[in-house]
Amino acid sequence: MFSFFKKTAEAIRSVAPKKETTVSKELLEEILLEADVSYETVEEIIYYLPPSDKVKREPLRKVLLSYFIEPPRESEETKRVEKPFVELIFGVNGAGKTTTIGKLAWRYKHAGHTVILGAADTFRAAAIEQLRRWAKRIDVPVVATQQGHDPSAVAFDTIASAKAKGIDYAIIDTAGRLHTQSNLAKELQKIVRICDKAKSGAPDRKLLILDGTQGNSAIAQAHAFNNMIGIDALIVTKLDGTAKGGAIFSIAKEIQKPILYLGVGEGKENLVPFDKEAFVDALLDEIFAEEA
């Protein structure tokens, strides 16, 4: 599942080429920093380990797992709201928002659900066209308009169309960067208000897309978006092309929101549910040798 972990594994091996059943705390610090776990998070991890200088796998595993919040089960979350389940997708340009929307839509459709897309990133004509291409590729409807039109109107029309047709999921794209951050905040806040007018309580989930190649610098983005409209959950993308896989621990620690999926490639199937135990074990497998 975590074959994309290759570059992070290579970074770990550059510090600790030989696996042992225990590692010193000093070496563990070097390993975690090389994997792009932030310095503050590394210090915290070391603090919560047993006092011995030699670190064993299981105590470290417990500490690392504690950083991740368990997301609600998908079926439970969607059952508690009337159709459509509205997801608002946001993040900076280049993080992979539109591609992630296409992958999400494919996952939902593949599971037997109906989906509609909303191209509310009207700031860029390329974003509208890209979402149209994804909609055609996976054969789902899309609500789109011209560049420069009101994105809130697109969000409203998407939800209204989903309600009229009994569609299960409405996934709405948004702009990642306007002329100033205050413009972006106002636009996103307006979209949230209009979603609620289209369907009380919408959006049902606000999903932030973070670029995994940016490592710990993604944390500042997450805080900014959380201050603008709040975050319900995260998707971390582009992890197949980075040695910064350890940044996920720092992101989870700082943002305190569940990570739902990891983007690990360009294909429609390359969005994998985040499994904290599998992720932590993949990291530990690169550090520790099996005990005899």
For the chain, list the domains and their CATH numbers.
74-280 (3.40.50.300)
Q: 138 forms bridges with which residues in the sheet?
A: none
Q: Give residue 247's pLDDT.
A: 81
Evaluate if pTM is beyond 0.85.
yes
Residue 16, pLDDT score = 87
- Determine the Cα angle at 254 with ends 251 and 260, to 5°: 45
Which tokens in the block code for residue 108? Answer: 């939902």
CB 229 within 8 A of CB 189: yes
Q: What does the alpha-carbon distance between residue 217 and residue 206 come to, in Å, rounded to a whole number?
A: 21
pLDDT in tens, the chain (292 residues): 455 567 778 888 889 888 999 999 999 999 999 888 889 999 999 999 999 999 999 999 999 999 999 887 765 556 667 899 999 999 988 889 999 999 999 999 999 999 999 999 998 889 999 999 999 999 999 999 988 899 999 999 999 999 999 999 999 999 987 556 788 899 999 999 999 999 999 999 999 999 888 876 788 888 889 999 999 999 998 877 666 778 888 888 888 999 999 988 788 888 989 999 988 998 899 899 987 6
Q: Is 230 exposed, middle or buried (0-12, 13-18, 19+ CB in 10 A)?
A: exposed
Q: Please name the residues in contact with 129: beta carbons below 8 A apart, sequence gap of 6 or more.
A: none
